[in-house]
Amino acid sequence: MENKQSHMLVGAVAFVLILALFGFVVWLSRYSGETKAEYDIFFKQSVTGLAIGSSVSFSGVPVGQVRRIALMPETPEFVRVRIEVSPDVPILEGTTASLQGVGFTGVTQVQLDGAMRGQQPIADPGPYGVPVIPAKVGGFGELLASAPQVLDRVSVLLARLNEVFDDQNRASLAGILKNVDKTSAVLAAEGPALAAALRETEVTLKAATRAANQIAATGQSVDALLQNDGKPLVADLRATAAAANKALQNIETLTATAQPGVQSLSTQTVPQLNQLIADLRDVSSNLGALAAKLDEDPLGAVVGGRTLPDYEPETK
pLDDT tens, position by position, for the chain (316 residues)?
Answer: 555 566 677 777 787 888 888 777 666 665 555 578 999 999 988 888 899 999 999 988 999 999 999 998 888 889 999 999 998 889 999 999 998 887 667 788 999 998 888 889 998 999 999 999 999 876 555 665 566 677 778 888 887 777 777 777 778 878 888 888 888 787 777 778 777 878 888 888 888 888 788 887 777 776 665 666 656 666 666 777 677 677 667 667 766 665 665 565 556 655 666 666 666 666 666 666 666 665 565 555 444 555 545 545 555 4
Q: Residue 11 and residue 17: Cα distance in Å, rounded? A: 10
Cβ atoms of residues 79 and 58 within 8 Å: no
Beta strands 55-58 and 61-71, pairing class? antiparallel
What pLDDT, on the 0 to 100 scale, is given for residue 27?
65
Q: What is the pTM of this model?
A: 0.40
Q: Is residue 133 assigned to a domain? A: yes
Gap between the terminal Cα atoms of the chain: 240
Number of domains present in the structure of the chain: 1
User: What are the φ and ψ backbone dihedral angles of 166, each rounded to 5 degrees?
Assistant: -80, 180
Q: Is residue 59 assigned to a domain? A: yes
Burial label for 10, CB within 10 Å (0-12, 13-18, 19+), is exposed
Q: Is residue 212 assigned to a domain? A: no
Q: Which domain holds residue 89?
A: 33-145
Cβ atoms of residues 79 and 43 within 8 Å: yes
What pLDDT, on the 0 to 100 scale, is given for residue 83?
95
Q: Residue 166 and residue 176: Cα distance in Å, rounded? A: 15
Neighbours of 84 (CB within 10 A): 19
Q: Residue 276 and residue 262: Cα distance in Å, rounded? A: 20
Cα angle 106, 111, 114; round to 5: 155
What pLDDT, on the 0 to 100 scale, is given for residue 187?
74
Please tell me whether residue 95 adopts helix, strand or coil conformation: coil
Please tell me whether residue 83 adopts helix, strand or coil conformation: strand
Side-by-side strand order, sheet with 61-71: 37-43, 79-85, 61-71, 55-58, 107-113, 96-102
Cα 70 from chain centroid (whole Å): 51
Q: Is residue 225 assigned to a domain? A: no
Identity of residue 18 = I
Burial label for 64, CB within 10 Å (0-12, 13-18, 19+), is buried
Angle between helices 191-228 and 230-264 (to 10 degrees): 60
Q: Is residue 209 assigned to a domain? A: no
Q: Is residue 13 assigned to a domain? A: no
Q: Is residue 73 assigned to a domain? A: yes
Q: Is residue 185 assigned to a domain? A: no
